[in-house]
C-alpha cells in the first residue's frame, strides 16, 4: 500500500476540504486543519505570534508524519507558511523571497532591477508624517496617483488620489485602520533578514504610485526547483467607470503575443527574486494605447477565486499546484480537460456607502438558480440584519453581496447567463446610505 501523506492546511474550511478531496492523488492524502478557519477568514485582527504559537503546538502534538504545510490565503496565512515550513522541514519558498513579493516597497525595488520599463513610478511614505504629500512630490509623483499600504489585504485601504482633499481624507482612514495589518506584518518582518533600506520602511508605511491601467489580468504560476511555470492567465474585468471587479474570466482573451510577453516577464522577475518551490500569481495591466505591459503586484499563493475556473476549464482546481509543491513534487496540472471552454467568477455588487440587509436569497432560491444554470455555484456573502460596512475584505467603493461561478461555451454566453441569473437575485435593504 502506498504511503499516506499528511497535509496540514492553515484555516482549512469545509468548502476547501471538499475541493481538495477531488484533486489528483487525494486518495493517498489526509488533510488536517491548522488554526480555525474563522481566525483567518472572518476577522481583520491577526495576532501573528499567537497564531504561530498555536500552529506550532498543534503540529508538535501530531503523532504521524508532517509531509506538507500549505495555505491558500493572503496575509496572514501566506507569511506564516515559510516560518512553519522551516520549523518542520517541509517544502516552500524562503521568508525573504516571499517578502520580496509581499512587502510592496521591497517588491518594487527588486522589480526595478530587472524589468524597469514595466513598473510605475513609486515612493514610500509615512501616513503619520504631516509632510507626507510634500515628500511624495519631491519623489516625482504628481496628481493623480494611487496610494495603498506597504502590506494590504485584498483591496482595503487603496485610494485613487486626484486632489489634496482626496489625499487628506484617505490619510485619515489609513491612520485609523492601518495598524490592523501593519502590527502583525511587523511581527513577520522581525523574523527576516532585511536590508537596512527595507527595514526602515515598516508595515505602517504606505506606497504612492503612478496611475497605471488597461486590460487587467493575472498570470497563475509556480516555481519548481528553479523552473518558473505559468499555467494560466485569468482576465479581471471591472464594472464600467469604477474600480470594483465585475468578473474574473478564464482563459484570457488577450492577444497571444501579449500573453507570451507576460509569461516571459514572469519568468524574469520570479527568477530574480529567488522564489522557489511555491505557487504565485502576478497581476498585470496591458495598456493597449501605450503598447505597454505594467506589473501591478505579486501574490505569493494561488488565487482561491480562480479555483473553480481552472476546475471548469482545465479539469482540476489549481489547488493541485499548492499541494503537489508542498509535497516537493512537480504539479500535476492538466490543460483544457474540463467541462467548459470558458468560465467566470462574477461579483454581484451594490454601490452604497452603507445599508442594512433585510432580505437575502433563501437556500431554496439559490439551489433553484444553480439548477437553472448548469455548472453554476453561488456563495452569498451577507446575512439578514447585517450592515454592509461590517463585511470584511471589501474595496473602497462597493460591497460584494454574492460570488457566482459560471461556465459557458463562449464569453457572450457567460454574460447573457449571468444577466439572466442576476435579474432573479432577491436582496432587500433598509437605511440605505448613498
Query: 366 Cβ partners below 8 Å, 6+ apart?
Result: 378, 380
- Which residue carries 470584511 as its cell? 392
**Residue 206 grid coordinates:** 504606505
What is the reported pLDDT for 49? 92
User: The domain spanning residue 249 has which CATH number?
Assistant: 3.30.470.20
Distance CA 80, CA 78 (A): 6
User: The domain spanning residue 145 has which CATH number?
Assistant: 3.30.1490.20
Please give the model's pTM, rounded to 2 decimal places: 0.93
200 and 252 together in one domain: no
245 and 193 together in one domain: no
Ranges 35-49, 75-89, 169-183, 320-334: which has the least confidence: 35-49
Contact 434, 352 (CB under 8 A): yes
191 and 274 together in one domain: no
48 and 172 together in one domain: no
Query: 433 Cβ partners below 8 Å, 6+ apart?
Result: 352, 353, 354, 355
Q: Which of 172, 189, 210 lies at the terminal end of a domain, its last residue?
A: 210
CA–CA distances in Å: residue 26 to residues 30, 45, 68? 8, 33, 13
Distance CA 253, CA 333 (A): 21
Q: Quick count: other Cβ atoms within 10 Å of Cβ 405?
A: 23
Say how many domains are in the chain. 3
Interval 355-413: pLDDT, tens? 999 999 999 999 999 999 999 999 999 999 999 999 987 887 899 999 999 999 999 99
Question: Binning pLDDT at 50, 70 and 90, where does residue 27 land?
Answer: very high
What is the reported pLDDT for 420? 97
**Residue 39 clears pLDDT 50, i.e. is over it:** yes
Contact 379, 403 (CB under 8 A): yes
Distance CA 54, CA 361 (A): 37
DSSP-assigned letter for residue 126:
-
Interval 106-138: pLDDT, tens? 999 999 999 999 999 999 999 999 999 999 999
Q: Where in the sequence is the domain holding 40, given as residue range(s)?
A: 5-93
Ranges 26-30, 61-65, 238-242: which has the least confidence: 238-242
**110: in domain:** no
Question: Binning pLDDT at 50, 70 and 90, where does residue 258 land?
Answer: very high
Question: Binning pLDDT at 50, 70 and 90, where does residue 1 land?
Answer: very low
52 and 145 together in one domain: no
**Residue 72 clears pLDDT 50, i.e. is over it:** yes
Distance CA 313, CA 305 (A): 14
Average pLDDT, the chain: 95
145 and 231 together in one domain: no
Phi/psi at 117 (nearest 5 deg)? -80, 0
Question: Binning pLDDT at 50, 70 and 90, where does residue 2 land?
Answer: low
Mean pLDDT, range 168-186, rounded to an integer: 94
Amino acid at each position: 500500500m502506498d504511503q499516506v501523506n499528511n497535509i496540514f492546511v492553515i484555516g482549512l474550511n469545509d468548502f476547501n476540504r471538499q475541493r481538495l478531496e477531488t484533486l489528483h492523488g487525494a486518495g493517498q492524502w489526509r488533510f488536517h486543519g491548522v488554526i480555525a478557519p474563522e481566525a483567518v477568514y472572518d476577522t481583520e485582527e491577526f495576532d501573528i505570534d499567537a497564531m504561530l504559537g498555536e500552529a506550532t503546538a498543534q503540529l508538535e502534538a501530531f503523532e504521524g508524519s508532517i509531509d506538507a504545510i500549505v495555505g491558500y490565503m493572503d496575509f496572514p496565512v501566506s507569511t506564516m507558511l515559510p516560518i512553519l515550513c522551516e520549523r518542520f522541514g517541509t517544502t516552500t519558498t524562503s521568508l525573504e523571497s516571499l517578502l520580496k513579493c509581499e512587502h510592496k516597497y521591497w517588491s518594487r525595488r527588486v522589480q526595478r532591477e530587472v524589468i524597469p520599463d514595466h513598473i510605475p513610478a513609486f515612493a514610500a511614505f509615512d501616513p503619520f508624517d504631516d509632510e507626507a504629500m510634500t515628500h511624495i512630490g519631491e519623489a516625482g509623483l504628481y496628481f493623480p496617483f494611487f496610494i495603498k499600504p506597504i502590506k494590504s489585504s485584498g483591496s482595503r485601504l487603496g485610494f485613487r488620489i486626484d486632489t489634496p482633499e482626496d489625499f487628506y481624507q484617505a490619510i485619515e482612514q489609513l491612520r485609523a485602520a492601518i495598524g490592523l495589518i501593519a502590527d502583525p506584518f511587523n511581527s513577520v518582518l522581525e523574523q527576516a533578514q532585511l536590508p537596512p533600506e527595507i527595514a526602515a520602511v515598516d508595515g505602517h508605511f504606505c506606497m504612492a504610485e503612478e496611475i497605471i491601467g488597461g486590460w487587467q489580468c493575472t498570470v497563475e504560476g509556480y516555481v519548481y526547483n528553479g523552473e518558473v511555470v505559468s499555467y494560466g492567465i485569468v482576465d479581471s474585468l471591472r464594472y464600467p467607470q469604477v474600480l470594483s471587479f465585475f468578473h474574473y474570466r478564464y482563459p484570457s482573451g488577450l492577444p497571444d503575443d501579449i500573453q507570451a510577453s507576460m509569461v516571459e516577464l514572469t519568468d524574469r522577475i520570479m527568477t530574480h527574486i529567488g522564489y522557489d518551490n511555491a505557487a504565485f500569481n502576478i497581476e498585470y495591466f496591458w495598456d493597449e494605447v501605450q503598447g505597454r505591459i505594467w506589473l501591478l503586484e505579486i501574490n505569493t499563493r494561488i488565487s482561491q477565486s480562480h479555483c473553480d475556473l481552472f476546475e471548469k476549464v482545465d479539469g482540476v482546481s489549481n489547488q493541485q499546484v499548492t499541494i503537489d509543491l508542498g509535497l516537493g513534487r512537480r504539479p500535476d496540472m492538466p490543460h483544457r480537460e474540463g467541462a467548459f471552454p470558458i468560465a467566470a467568477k462574477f461579483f454581484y455588487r451594490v454601490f452604497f456607502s452603507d445599508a442594512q440587509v433585510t432580505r437575502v436569497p433563501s437556500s431554496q432560491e439559490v439551489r433553484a438558480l444553480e439548477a437553472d444554470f448548469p455548472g453554476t455555484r453561488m456563495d452569498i456573502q451577507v446575512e439578514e440584519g447585517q450592515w454592509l460596512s461590517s463585511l470584511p475584505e471589501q474595496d473602497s467603493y462597493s460591497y460584494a453581496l454574492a460570488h457566482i461561478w459560471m461556465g459557458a461555451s463562449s464569453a457572450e454566453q457567460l454574460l447573457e447567463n449571468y444577466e439572466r441569473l442576476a435579474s432573479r437575485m432577491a436582496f432587500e435593504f433598509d437605511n440605505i446610505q448613498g
